Amino acid sequence: MRFDQLTSMRLFIRIIETHSFSRAASLSGISPSNATARIARLEEHLGVKLLGRTTRAVAATEAGQRYYATCKRLLVELDEVEADLKGSQQRLSGKVRVSVNVSVARAIIFPRLPELMLQYPDIHPEIILTDQRSDFVREEIDFAIRIGGLEDQDLHKRSLGFPLRINVASHEYLQKFGVPETPEALHTHRLIDFRLPVPGEKLGWEFECNGAVRTFWPDTVASVGDAEARVQLAVAGMGIVQSLNFIVAPALDTNKLVRILPALETRAPEVTLLWPRNRHLPARTEAVMRVFSDWIREALEERC
């Protein structure tokens, strides 16, 4: 087998980041035995042991850790140089795998994705809808978009904007039950809560009162674990909903819902773009990620 140091370096990085020979081999399109042989040849070429294996995992030696840091830096620089040489005007292309918060996908991404695809027809997004924590390696995710701090991994973060929590109800509901003038008045109204996936946990209703954020825990007539479904119930006149402005915006634009207590609205957790710190991203993927993040930030700014 001909020794290709550059290919072996990329394989070595994948082994470190996945903690697995077999997983790295699969991602590289080769057999585990081939991967083992390539790393052995790389170690022979360098004259040092790079990896140590136990029955449970693969870990870098001290020399391997130093080599990993150097390889990553060099390959990032190499990818950037190649991208520059191929021309900044070259059309972006290829597959990008994105994990997206369900509400952001439905309210922001899907309605506008056709226009992005017209501009970049050679990008092929694979969009995974979830509000849960992502396993970037196992799911082969390039980057994720989340509301708030649901990810606890060691990740890079890029802010895409801060939505507002707003309170809405239908004209019919307000005509029948009246318009609440204070947060305390909500205790006498019909409220539709957001059901969290953890049994027994619920979101409080937040309001800015005299410069401070206060949380209320009023009784509700129903709880629903889908943000868009709650908006539909509000449109149907079932009750009042506190939701994010970009989720409610279409119903407000068509006058199906009315904004109430607008002076007491609070900022929600920021929408963020996340990707692993220890992952080497090809220059093409980084370029696509920048396009996505800029596009989503602009879309959110229109609604936030």
Every domain of the chain and the residues it spans? 5-85, 94-162+270-303, 164-267
Torsion of CA 130, 134, 140, 143, to 10 degrees: 80
The CATH code that applies to domain 5-85 is 1.10.10.10
Q: Chain centroid to CA 276: how far?
A: 11
- Per-residue model confidence (pLDDT) at position 122: 84
- Per-residue model confidence (pLDDT) at position 248: 92
Distance CA 198, CA 250 (A): 29
5-85 and 94-162+270-303 share one CATH topology?
no
Residue ranges in the chain assigned as alpha helix (H):
5-18, 21-28, 32-46, 62-85, 102-104, 110-119, 171-177, 227-235, 245-253, 283-303
User: In which residue are the tokens 């969009």 written?
Assistant: 127
- Per-residue model confidence (pLDDT) at position 55: 54
Torsion of CA 59, 60, 61, 66, to 10 degrees: -160
Distance CA 184, CA 58 (A): 57
- Per-residue model confidence (pLDDT) at position 140: 81
Residues of the chain scoring pLDDT < 50: 88-89
- Per-residue model confidence (pLDDT) at position 89: 46
Structure tokens at 38: 């390539």
Beta carbons of 46 and 58 less than 8 angstroms apart: no
Distance CA 168, CA 67 (A): 56
- Note the pLDDT tens digit of each residue in 17-33: 888 888 888 888 888 88
Question: Beta partners for 197?
Answer: none
For residue 175, what are the CA distances in angstroms to 70, 117, 230, 258? 67, 44, 20, 11
122 burial level (CB within 10 Å; 0-12, 13-18, 19+):
exposed
Beta carbons of 207 and 216 less than 8 angstroms apart: yes
Tell me which fold the domain 94-162+270-303 belongs to: D-Maltodextrin-Binding Protein; domain 2 (3.40.190)
Distance CA 93, CA 95 (A): 7
φ, ψ at 186 (rounded to 5°): -65, -25
Distance CA 90, CA 93 (A): 9
> How many residues does this entry show for the chain?
304
Helix axes 21-28, 32-46, angle to 10 degrees: 100
Q: Residue 73, SS3?
A: helix
For the chain, what is the largest distance between any 2 Cα atoms, rounded to a whole number of angstroms?
81
Beta carbons of 111 and 253 less than 8 angstroms apart: no
Tell me yes or no: is domain 164-267 CATH 3.40.190.10. Answer: yes
- Per-residue model confidence (pLDDT) at position 295: 82
- Per-residue model confidence (pLDDT) at position 86: 59
Angle CA 24–29–31, to nearest 5 = 75
